[in-house]
Structure 1
Amino acid sequence: MKTQRQNFTNLKNSKVVNRIFKNALVIVVLASLVSCINDKDEVLVPQPDGIALTERFNDNRENAVEEFILDAATGGIITGSQGTKVTFQPNSFGLNGTPVTGNVTVKLIEIYDKASMLLKNKSTLGQRVNGDKEALKSAGEFFINAEQGANGLELLEMANVQSRPVDFVDLDGGMQVFRANGDGIDNDCDGIDATCDWVEADEDGNGENDGVQVKDGQGGTAGGEFATYNYNIGTFGWTNLDRWYSYTGPKTQIFVDVPAEFNQDNCAVYLSYDGEPTALARMDTWSSTLEMFTEHYGLIPVGLEVHIIMVAEIDGQLNYAIQGTTIVEDHIEVITNLSPITQAALETLINGLP
């Protein structure tokens, strides 16, 4: 019987095997590089940061605070940089119901334009008594507060608020006083960081919405080239001069479809009304089923011209999208991407909208 021998080629000297090994090595190296690149991309892709966006809003409010020193016994008038005046009566600053003495620090924030409303997250969305929410047109939003040392003070007597001067041609006789208000016992909607909707104010407790007086530049009720809105407050916090935005014609819902990585926790979407420089509603209702933003009610007029504004904080940079559109029935607005921008540039764009 013959013994069968198998002839094995020396692997070390085989060109074919060497070629196979080299090709395999290249494949392994390339696969490793691709894997590393993919892993790196997954780690480094910037994500929207909702906490950073909220901090931006809060910082903008803090930076807008103006402080004034008054003698509590004599009271006095403070005037904001944009022209808002607040008059305090003598002995009207109190702590636990008792007038304080000495100096007090009065704080003021005044908001008159749409960009400030958005970047301080103080949109003009109002809430009716029945819970329905509708857009408001504002003549000014104001935060007024007083402190003495570490103590927050209260108002013991009514203080008067006077808006910045307004051209008579721009006056709106339908303005009323609104307050920031929430729906929970622990929801502080008069604090500087309040983001609550606006409700009609009743400072004197008579069961009626507080009225607004219009006075001319000399303090009278007629004449002159400009006028001011005037009203009284009995408590500190946020107030807003508003009127309900009037709707006519058929109405519909509007949905905003945002990129996949965005949701109600990491961005903000607003509805800006064309032709109304101070009408800005935040679309803070998120449909988890549709994964879209919407508003609380079906009260957007068909045919209304608006701009959708979306903002987010991504990798320490403010990002935005602005899209103009005309509302159609069952409107769906699709936002495909956002672009980086400075806050100053965004302010200019927003205040330049029609």
Structure 2
Amino acid sequence: MSDKQTSSTQPREDKRAIRVTSLGGGHGLFNTLRAARKVSDYVSAVVTVADDGGSSGRMRRELGEVPPGDLRMALAALSRDNERGMLWEKTLQHRFGGNGALKGHAVGNILITGLSQVMGSLTAALDELAALLGVKGRVIPVCDEPLDLEAEVTGLEEDPREVVAVRGQVAVATTIGQVRRVKIFPHNPQPTPEALEAIEHADLVTLGPGSWFSSVIPHILMPAVVEALNNSSAPKVLVMNLVAEPGEMAGMSMEHHIHMVNQHAKDLLIDVVVVDLTTMQGASERRHFERAASALGARVIYRDVREDDGRGRFSDRHMPDKMATVFQEILDTPIEDLPAHLS
């Protein structure tokens, strides 16, 4: 148990003193960051850099740059919560139309890549944009070089047991086969020092939700990231998806998601796994899931984190307000005292 968790059972009401670091990418990270900034005035996003599709993929291929799309989304999520911030968020996410070379490119992708070239540093460019947007915190690439994702996939050949290598994030995310394991290239890439520092200085660290093999697991394929997570005294929180991702995780149970984390990072220790109440209602299913989570050293808690319209209809996205409530609960309560269910 971390010193930060056992030192006090009193709620921490001053969010200016809290630092949250969230690892991930894409829409899952976007919603997590929106939740995190409700409990903290200093949120750091440690972002995957393996995208090879769309605008990001084009910039990566044509310019040899780190794909900026997930970084752009993190900046948009952390933009200040006022009229000016909303204007910048909308601008970052805006995509050019028409039929020319700019078609499909996001404005934020061009800003990040152009400023990175001018300043000679992607991290410095992201810090400059964060200052422009009024972000209190940082957006940090997990690595300074583009990563390639490769998956071992079965079910693609006549013999369904035959293993086929599928390379590239888009190809992995959309495969109709079953992903058995993923790798990243180059071998043993070095995380940015800023990413490791953000984990070290955090009061709360989150991983997930998101595309499991594309946005979540790539972080823990870096031994230095796993070591930083295990050395951190902050509670480490794994947020489960609401549904299995189409393609890469289709048909996989939530228990299998946990097995995949353990398989790819056997030394990783997690403190809390957050599961939405609606995703796992059977007692037997929960027992199997909790047994799998125990291999990570984790306590499982079931909470309402699903987006709803206030009229009983749910979406397949996490609701930032609800997640923020759970994050605050974890910050305020020693891990061993967290109830599995709220009465």
Q: Which has the higher helix share?
A: 2
Bigger CA radius of gyration: 1
Greater RCO, 1 or 2 (C-alpha within 8 Å, sep 6+): 2
TM-score (norm 2): 0.28
TM-score normalised over the length of structure 1: 0.27
Please identify which structure carries the higher strand content: 1
